[in-house]
Amino acid sequence: MVAGAAVSQYRESYSVVVAAPPEACFAVLTDFEAYPQWSSPVKRTQVLERRPDGLARRVDFLLDMTVRTIHYVLEYDYDPPHGASWRLVEGDLADIAGSYRFVPADGGTRATCEQAIDLGFWIPGFLRSTLERKALRDSVEEFRRAVEARAAAPRA
């Protein structure tokens, strides 16, 4: 379920099976400093505030969306190792809220990302939904590859 997504009428969801346990998925999801290494639109991340358990509470993002650079700050809540949810605190978008859920599945973990975005400006519905669906799918597939690469890497 997308937390705090009342503002947006555009919601997308995408699932994939990741060849790794939920703990590995959770570790990549919460390693915000590494996002620019595996997520193509993410150019910079900075953890602004941490919770007492060390997990990031607020994270600043800078994304290059080709047409425009977008900046925003998200606040996170966690359910280790089953996932996390986020909501917009401030930034260039009108609203964003989403979640990742990790459920054990044959061959690894079913990772499902659900996201609702309100860009704050009008784009024709058919174009918007196509772009959002592709962006979410690409993001989840990049996440899957990052988790599987980390899980396959030799331990130091």
| Residue 50 is assigned to a structural domain of this protein | no
Instruction: Residue 19: name the closest of 116, 104, 139, 118 by CA.
Output: 104
pLDDT value at position 123? 58
- Specify the CATH number for the domain of residue 143: 3.30.530.20
Structural domain contains residue 96: yes
How many domains does the chain fold into?
1
- Give domain status of residue 108, yes or no: yes
Task: Determine the pLDDT at residue 8.
Answer: 45
Which pTM value belongs to this model?
0.87
| Domain contains 36 | no
Name the residue range of residue 97's domain: 11-31+77-152
When pLDDT is cut at 50, 70 and 90, the band that residue 127 belongs to is low
> How many whole angstroms separate alpha carbon 43 and alpha carbon 41?
6
CB 115 within 8 A of CB 9: no
141, part of any domain: yes
